[in-house]
Each structure stands twice: as C-alpha cells, then as structure tokens.
Structure 1
Amino acid sequence: MSDPHCLVSDCPASAARDAPVALCTWHLAASVDWAASAEGVTDLLPSPCIVCGSRLGVRWPSGWLCAVCEWRHGDPVDHELPPPRVDVVYYLRYEDRIKIGTTAHPRRRLAAIWHDEVLAFEPGDRLVERRRHAQFAGERLGRSEWFHRSAALDIHVAAVAAGVDDPWARYARWTSEALARRG
C-alpha cells in the first residue's frame, strides 16, 4: 500500500504513514513552525493575574503564565490560607540618603516612609538587614536606618537590583514562588 498524498492542494508529495495529519514532511514542518510562532509570546492576559495584578502574560501550549510573577493563569489561590510570608530588605532613596530596612509587608511599610524612589528589594530578614547596616556602618546617619549615599552603597544597591527596573515585579515573583511552593 502506498503512502497517502499530502492534503495540501496541488502538493504532489506523499504524506508519511505515521504522521498525525496526512501532510508531507515539508508541510508538517511548516505547520510546526507556524504553531510554534505563538509560543512564548508576551501579550495581554485574558484577565489580570490574581497574584500580582499584572495584565501581561506569556502564551505557552500548556496555557498562560503571568509575565511578572509567573503564576499560571487560571490556577486558583487558596484564600483560606494566609498569604505567604516573604521577608525583604528594602533600599529606599530620599534625596541623597538611602534607607536600608526590612519588612514582610513592603507595600504597607513603604507607604508609611517618606521616600523618592524604591531602589531594590533583597530577600532577607532582620539578620540580612543587620549585616547590611554593619557593612555600611561608615555611611550610617547616627543610629538610624538611613545612610549617606556612597560609591560602595550605590554599587551594592545596583548589584542587588541586578538590572531589574521594577523592584515590585521581583517581589511579586517571590510571592508567587512562595505560593507555588506551598501548593
């Protein structure tokens, strides 16, 4: 028995017997390329991410992922459980000073502190915060959590930020990862 002909009109080639669709090798490859062109594409989510509120998502064959926190679109969050605790060390700039502090609730905490810019978040708790205070003790303003800007402090903050333009996106991802680990 001979192989069936390719279903594409005017194609003289034969389709492979084990092909899922009666297409020749060339048309199968063209179909795969076309289908793959929609994978990994950033676009608007069907609805905002329930974890971080972002509207941007990445489309994959298995479904949408939030482009910010990578939560799988459509996966429920168990609202009976408390939100996961994600401790961060934050770096805030106000004029020529930088505050190094820590919190498990950055939106609430930072809303209470006068600042010009959120520079970076670093995963960590009071222990990491104390290490940073000791590391930059020479720049510390009295006994506060505020520090004079210096080349060393600027370099450290840039390394912590690691090219991330929006620290809140990084925090949203950490929260999403903590939710995913929890199940």
Structure 2
Amino acid sequence: MSKVSCVVPGCRVAVAFDAPLDLCDEHLSVAAEWAGRRDGVTDVLPTPCRLCGSRLGVRWPTGWLCAVCEWRHGEPLDTDLPPPRVDVVYYVRFRDRIKIGTSAQPRQRLRAIRHDELLAFERGDRSLERRRHLQFASERLGGSEWFDRSEALDTHIAALAGGVTDPWDLFARWTSEAFARQG
C-alpha cells in the first residue's frame, strides 16, 4: 500500500506506506548508502577484534573499525607492547551467595571459581575490594570473600551493571582504553 509519490523532483514512483520518508525504495537506498559513507554502518565484524575480542564493528567504505576499541580490522597489533593491566573487582553468584573478588586476569580467575553467573565488574584493585568487603560486612560469610545476597548488595550490583547485559563488554572497553593509553 502506498501513500504518496516520491518527493524527488521528476520521480513519480509510489512511496511504501511504512517508509520513514516520502522517498521511493530506490531513493531511500541512495540516501542510506550516502549516510553509510558519512556515518558508517554498524554491523558484525568479519572476525572478532584482535585487540578486545568484540564482534561489533562499523563498516566504512575504507574498511572496518571495531565499535568498542576502534582497532582497524586487519591492522597488525604491536606485539612489542606488553598487555595493559586492568584490575577489576568481580561479582559472581553461586546459588544464593555472591563472591566479591579482584583480578587483573578475570577470564583466567573466573575459570578457576565455581559459579553460576558473572553479575558485574567494577574497575578497581585490592583496595576497592577491601572497601566493598567492609561495605557489605553484615552479609559476609566468616572471613571469606562470599556474601549472602541482600537488597543492598543486589542494588549495588545493579548500579554497576548500569544497563550493560554482559560484563565482559565493559572489561573489553576498559582493556581497549588501556591499550589506547599505551599508544
């Protein structure tokens, strides 16, 4: 079903009823291609980013950029640079308990910890971990890093997540930012 004719002078082709602008399919396509050249097109990278591991990219006429760390797809990495250290405080759930720990290598660390779910990351080191242990001391199980779930702890974790559904996306961003600071 169409509503009107295309607004491009000389074009009398009908506009699709659900078209966002009064342009025919051909002129909408031309506009989308122009916008893609100017703004890039968000899409899945051909292969995961070698720098941060993200699959989300922006396709430009000149090539792909990682949407997380802006690494140009296909460019070699500077292997002479040591990997940056990104310390995080992690929050994992096992059954009805939550562990608050820290690591500079969270993938390796979390493989060694029995858990049901990674809840959140917070950028910080042992001093921040100690502050969180004190903050939630009333929920702490003995002298361990495990805590009973509570409304306060759940609220804190929800605030850390801040709408991010996968904590690894935050870690990838922090890692890519650290790489960028290295030069």
What's the TM-score bracket when you normalise by the shorter of the two chains? 0.7 to 0.9
Partner of 2:115: 115
Report the count of equivalent residues. 156
**Normalised by the size of structure 1, how large is the TM-score?**
0.76
**1:90-109 → structure 2 map (5 Å cutoff):** 90-109=90-109
What amino acid does structure 1 have at the position aligned with 2:34?
A
CA-based RMSD of the aligned residues comes to 2.3
Larger radius of gyration: 1
Quote the offset at 1:36 in angstroms. Answer: 1.3
Matches within 5 A, 1:20-99: 34-37=33-36, 39-60=39-60, 63-99=63-99
The answer (yes or no) to whether the contact 1:69–1:169 under 8 Å persists in 2 is no
Q: TM-score, normalised on structure 2?
A: 0.76
In the alignment, is the contact (CA less than 8 A) between 1:65 and 1:73 conserved in 2? yes
Q: In the alignment, which residue of structure 2 is the partner of 1:160?
A: 160
Unaligned 5+ runs, structure 1? 1-9, 12-29
Q: What letter matches 1:105 in structure 2?
A: Q
Worse-matched range after superposition: 123-132 or 71-80: 71-80
How far the C-alpha of 1:182 sits from its partner, in A, is 0.3
CA distance in 1, matches of 2:111, 2:96: 20
Tell me by how many angstroms 1:101 deviates: 0.4
- What one-letter code is carried by the residue in structure 1 that aligns with 2:99? K
Identity rate, percent? 70
1:44-73: CA deviation from partner (whole Å, max 9, x where unpaired):
223321113333212246653223444332
Answer yes or no: is 1:135 the counterpart of 2:121: no
Query: 3-state DSSP class of the match of 1:138?
Result: helix
CA distance in 2: counterparts of 1:33 and 1:81, whole angstroms? 40
**Offset of 1:76 from its aligned partner?**
3.1
Query: What's the counterpart of residue 20 of structure 1?
Result: none
Structure 2 partner of 1:27: none
Per the TM alignment, residue 33 of structure 1 is displaced from its structure 2 partner at its CA by 6.3
1:144 aligns to what? 144
